[in-house]
Amino acid sequence: METCILEAVVSTQSTGGDYAVCVCNNSGWSVGVDIMKVELRRNTTLETFFSHMRGQFTPLEWDTIRGSGDNQLFSFYRHWCLKESYVKTIGTGLKFGLQRIEFHLGGPLDREGGLCETTRVLIDGVRQDDWVFEERSHDGHITAIAIQVPGSGWKEGGAGMSILHFSDLSISPVELGERDYFNLFNAKKELPG
C-alpha cells in the first residue's frame, strides 16, 4: 500500500455518513471541522434521541431546535456540528462543558447546498468575536468549520468549502517510505497544547 501526503497542511478532519472532510490550513488560524449525516439512528424515536442528548445544549439552543418544525433533526445536527467543530479547534474534545457553548444561528441553512457564515458563539454567556463558523449542507449532511481568527483577519467567503473527489487529491502524490511515515507519525505531539 502506498502512503502519500499533500503539500498543504491538514489541520483537522472528520467523517460522517457518506463523507470524509478535512480542512487544509496555511493561515496559522486554529480550525476545527465536523460533518454529520442528518438521520435518526438506532431504531429510536426523535423524542427518545433528544432526551438522551438533553444535557448537550443550552435552553436557547433547544428552543431553536424544537421551534424548527419538521426540521428539528436537521437543526439538531446543525448545532451538534457547530459544537464539535468548536471543541476540536480548542483541542479539548467533549471534555469541554457543552452547555458553556451557545450558538446563535446566523440564518437559515438550505437543506441542499446551503451556506451560512453568520452564526456566532457565546462562551459562558460572552460573545466571542474572534470566531467564524462556516456551515454547509450537502446531500443530507451538514458540515461546520470553526475558525479562530485573531484581530480582523477574516474576509467573508474566506474558508471556501469545496467538494473534492479522490482523483482531485491524488494528482501528484508523494510516496513515503515506511521509515518516512514512521518519522512523521513519531514527530506528532502526544497531547494538544
DSSP assignment of 113-170 equals T-EE---EEEETTEE-TTEEEEEEEETTEEEEEEEE--TT---TT-S------HHHH-
Residue-level pLDDT at 1: 31
Q: Which helix (H) or strand (E) holds 10?
A: strand 10-16
Q: How confident is the model at residue 126 (pLDDT cuts 50, 70, 90)?
A: very high
Q: How confident is the model at residue 186 (pLDDT cuts 50, 70, 90)?
A: low
Residue-level pLDDT at 84: 93
Q: How confident is the model at residue 79 (pLDDT cuts 50, 70, 90)?
A: very high
Residue-level pLDDT at 78: 96
What percent of the chain stands above pLDDT 70? Answer: 70
- Give the contacts of 134 (CB within 8 A, at least 6 positions apart): 115, 116, 117, 144, 145, 147, 158, 159, 161
Q: C-alpha cell of 139?
A: 446531500
Is residue 3 scored above 50 in pLDDT?
Answer: no
Measured at the CA of 11, the angle between CA 113 and CA 78, to 5 degrees, comes to: 35
| Alpha carbons within 13 A on the beta-carbon side of 167 | 0
Residue listed under C-alpha cell 446563535? 104
| Mean pLDDT within 102-109 | 91
Residue in 153, 155, 146, 16 with CA at minimum distance from that of residue 90: 146
Is residue 50 scored above 90 in pLDDT?
Answer: yes
Residue-level pLDDT at 2: 38
Residue-level pLDDT at 56: 94
Is residue 81 scored above 70 in pLDDT?
Answer: yes
Q: C-alpha cell of 124?
A: 459562558
Residue-level pLDDT at 176: 59
* 61 and 50 Cβ atoms separated by less than 8 Å: no
Q: Which is more confident, 41 or 15? A: 41
Q: Which is more confident, 186 or 115? A: 115
